[in-house]
Amino acid sequence: MTLTISKVRQNLFSLAEAAARGEKVEFAYQGTKFRLVAENKVSKLSRLKPMDILAPGVSLDSLQADMKAEKAKLAAEWEARQV
């Protein structure tokens, strides 16, 4: 989306912050298109937001406890087969 120069003047600071985050900021003035680009390229990974990936009702503590119990069970089965 290309903005007008009036919108750029009204929102200059928020548009500069958007450009610093790596978002595309373009505006037109007297028939010429301009693009705001941050001098230092922003990493795409820096914009990632963490997601909750556990199923509802599952806590990290219960998941870790279940994994520890499963590991112990597998180790016991392995030892039983080695004899």
Task: Assess whether pLDDT exceeds 90 at residue 49.
Answer: no
In a domain, 44, yes or no: no
In a domain, 48, yes or no: no
Structure confidence at residue 64 (pLDDT): 94
Structural domain including 69 reads: 54-82
Amino acid, single-letter form, for residue 51 = M
In a domain, 71, yes or no: yes
Task: Assess contact for 38 and 20: CB atoms under 8 A.
Answer: yes
Same domain, 61 and 33: no
In a domain, 46, yes or no: no
Structure confidence at residue 41 (pLDDT): 75
40 phi and psi, to 5 degrees?
-95, 125
In a domain, 23, yes or no: yes
In a domain, 21, yes or no: yes
**Quick one: average pLDDT of 48-65?**
87
Region for residue 57 given its phi and psi (left: phi exceeds 0; alpha: psi -120 to 50; beta: otherwise): left
Give the count of domains, the chain.
2
Structure confidence at residue 32 (pLDDT): 93
In a domain, 45, yes or no: no
In a domain, 32, yes or no: yes
Same domain, 8 and 33: yes
Structure confidence at residue 74 (pLDDT): 96
